Amino acid sequence: MAAMNISPEIISLIDEIKNDKTHGASQLARQAVDVLKVAAEHSQADSVEQFLLEQKAVGERLMSARPAMAPVFNIVNRLLGIIAEKSAEMDLDSIRCLTISKSDELTSNSLQAVAQIAEHGLGLIDDGDIIMTHSYSSTVVAALKEAFTKHRNIEVITTKSGPGRTGERIAQQLGLHGIPVTFIDDAAMGLYISTVNKVMVGADRVCADAKVVNGIGTYQLALAAKIASVPFYVLCETLKFDSRLRGDEVDLEEKDPSEVVEPGKLPPEVRVKNPYFDVTPLELVTGIVTENGLLAPEGVISYLVKQPAKDS
């Protein structure tokens, strides 16, 4: 019944996140918390209880919009938890103001984490490096821009990055920044892997079993890097660590088959699949760079063990 309180405008904003094919998980998490802020600003609730029900309904819809992306769940769940905890001691105007201010704070914290990761990532990048990346990550883009700005003579090879073609966004942003970029099809990653010094990718989730969920094709790139003895780094804020689900329990978000092949091109007996994410085992990862620094594989497991499981 609470879901009926969600306005069409808010539903439209949630659908933008659900259908987004170009932005990374951190950006969509910040966008999600901004939806809660907008809902608070335009709330028609006449009591604290009704306001909390509205926020919960919007939050639940947001958390289910992108099930593979842990930071969307985590940031929304964090904000809902803060306002629920404080609600007993506040009136309606106060809880509305708290929701708005805390949403801004969470967004600021996420942006600060990305900046810190870029600084930590700088220490992994040597002058003259050729770095391969795959699947759009605002964090990886920030790190590569930071390295180039700090006079690292780097080059980047980016893949098309699956049917969603988020690699084009990477190439455009890095190219406009002046970084030499080579754009390749995903099928060519194995051919080019021996020419690079390291791989840097983002993540949409670090699972309870320490497996990494990221854009489809990341697993193949990690395998190729392992065989070629190329270091494989994941850059992501701890907001993406999620002890609720193992890698084999994550919804990998099947998308429209028409992105893979034009409708009617194949016989109707042929099934076309279009998963947007895959799962990379931690043993293929050299390390995960967070806002707190570089975590070796054993450090990732230790962090997850200490992280309390959240309600799903």
Sheet harboring 277-280: ordered strands across? Answer: 205-206, 212-215, 277-280
pLDDT in tens, 35-75: 999 999 999 999 999 999 999 999 999 999 999 999 999 99
Kindly report the CATH number assigned to the domain that includes residue 83.
1.20.120.420
Q: 69 and 162: one domain? A: no
Output b/e per residue, 146-170; b: 16+ Cβ within 10 A.
bbbeeebebbbbbbbbbbbebbebb
Domain that holds residue 24: 2-116
Clarify whether residues 65 and 45 are in a common domain.
Answer: yes
CATH number of the domain residue 255 falls in:
3.40.50.10470
Domain limit, last residue, from 116, 148, 164? 116
Q: Is residue 312 part of a domain?
A: no
Name the residues annotated as catalytic. Answer: 204
Q: Which of 312, 301, 140 lies closest to 156 in space, CA to CA?
A: 140
Task: Put the strands of the sheet holding 293-295 in their side by side order.
Answer: 181-184, 155-159, 130-133, 198-201, 232-235, 287-290, 293-295
The residue type of 84 is: A
| 254 in the same domain as 229 | yes
d(CA 26, CA 272): 29
Do 291 and 183 share a structural domain? yes
Q: Residue 294 is inside which H or E element, if any?
A: strand 293-295
Residue 201 Cα to chain centre, angstroms: 11
Separation CA 267–CA 264 (nearest Å): 7
Give me the pLDDT at residue 22, please: 84
Q: For the chain, give the longest Cα–Cα distance.
A: 63
Evaluate whether 163 touches 260 at the Cβ level (below 8 Å). yes
Instruction: State which amino acid sits at residue 3.
Output: A
The reply to whether 52 falls in a domain is yes
Residues 6+ positions from 164 with CB-CB distance below 8 Å: 21, 22, 215, 255, 259, 276
Its pTM stands at 0.90
291 plus 260 within the same structural domain: yes
Cβ(194)–Cβ(210) under 8 Å?
no
- Give the 3-state secondary structure of residue 210: coil
Q: What is the mean pLDDT of the chain?
A: 93
Residue finishing a domain among 99, 116, 133:
116
Dump pLDDT digits (tens) for 79-138: 999 999 988 889 999 999 999 999 999 999 999 999 999 999 999 999 999 999 999 999
Same domain, 141 and 93: no
Name the domain boundary from 71, 95, 116: 116
pLDDT tens, residue by residue, 208-265: 999 999 999 999 999 999 999 999 999 999 999 999 999 999 999 998 999 999 999 9
Q: Are 170 and 139 in contact (CB under 8 A)?
A: no
